[in-house]
Amino acid sequence: MVGAVSAAGPSVNGLSRAALGWLLSFRLRQDRPHGESGAIPTTLPSDRIKIGAVQWQADPVARADDWSRRVEERFREAREAHCHMLVFPEYLPLSLLGVVMPRGTAAATLTDDTIRSLLRSLAPVTFGHWSRWMAHLSRKYQMVTVAGSGLTLYQGRLLNVALGFDHQGRQILWQPKWHLMADERRWGVEPGPAVNPDVMEPWGLTALVCNDASYYESFRIVERRGALIAAVPIADPDPRYTVGKARRGWFSRGQGVPMVGVAAASPRRVFWGWVTGQDG
């Protein structure tokens, strides 16, 4: 029997995964970016740049346009602050699951098997919506953007992937997370390939996803690729999170690789758990 969809959102047990995926796709289509940005292309500086980092509240949203409005507000603030680049946090698109998922305590009771099934069905839908909006807003505000990270299926594997866009809205970075947290493994997320990370010229910009920045070899790998700036989207589910742990990989004495690091964090509740972190 198919459950009814109420104003509070559909029951996870009452709707099939396919039906939830269809419903999510339908609702997100109502919030697609439309038309050209109308922005006049600008020339970016090649030496001195100003970078903004977003501290994002990860709570679920009931409407897709609530999410896109909040994202655009961060772009507008960055432009008013004369930033050339903006970094968003890890798991940014997961807030969009609130469009179809039940809110409140019900989601916290989901089993690991249910979470794995839901993420494989729904996360790629939010990934596409997120990437379209980020490309559009990067072009509209003439901003180089490390868009955070999101879950998507790649060759049948569920990966946590960071994306980056240049100021014309073209994708310049695609970087899966290498070092997973224990919770991510329970959710069915798999580590991505650690070879040939993308690096944007002329700034030498690359991305390391959350826990990847806790390992010295991550910086050595991207440094060999020509990286000078590492953007690090984070959303740590570990209740023992500390600033020292989050920034362990930055210490130049340990890694021997001089590099600028920019972290953007996504604290608060993500349906079945809490995440934390601090931008900087």
Q: Which residue has the higher pLDDT, 115 or 82?
A: 82
Region of poorest pLDDT, from 7-11, 184-188, 198-202, 236-240: 7-11
Angle at 170 (CA atoms; ends 169, 176), nearest 5 degrees: 110
Taking every pair of Cα atoms in the chain, the longest distance, rounded to a whole number of angstroms, is: 61
Residues whose CB is less than 8 angstroms from the CB of residue 113 and which lie 6 or more positions away in sequence, other chains included: none
Q: What is the mean pLDDT of residues 218-234?
A: 87
Is beta strand 51-53 parallel, antiparallel or unpaired with respect to 85-87? parallel
Can you give the pLDDT at residue 58? 73
Q: Which residue has the higher pLDDT, 9 or 143?
A: 143
State yes or no: cis peptide before 197, omega within 30 of 0: no
Confidence of residue 259 (pLDDT cuts 50, 70, 90): confident
Q: Is the pLDDT of residue 65 over 90?
A: yes
Can you give the pLDDT at residue 144? 95
Can you give the pLDDT at residue 152? 96
Nearest to 145 by CA among 158, 154, 136: 136
Can you give the pLDDT at residue 279? 46
Beta carbons within 10 angstroms of residue 104's beta carbon: 9
d(CA 118, CA 139): 32
Region of poorest pLDDT, from 6-10, 253-257, 270-274: 6-10
Mean pLDDT of the chain: 81
Can you give the pLDDT at residue 48? 85
Is beta strand 51-53 parallel, antiparallel or unpaired with respect to 9-10? unpaired
Q: Is the pLDDT of residue 6 over 90?
A: no
Q: What is the mean pLDDT of residues 90-114?
A: 78
pTM metric for this prediction: 0.85
Q: Which residue has the higher pLDDT, 105 or 227?
A: 227
The pLDDT tens digits for 149-187 are: 999 999 999 999 999 999 999 999 999 999 998 888 988
Dihedral over alpha carbons 52, 66, 60, 56 (to 10 degrees): 10
Confidence of residue 258 (pLDDT cuts 50, 70, 90): confident
Most confident of 19-28, 124-133, 258-267: 124-133
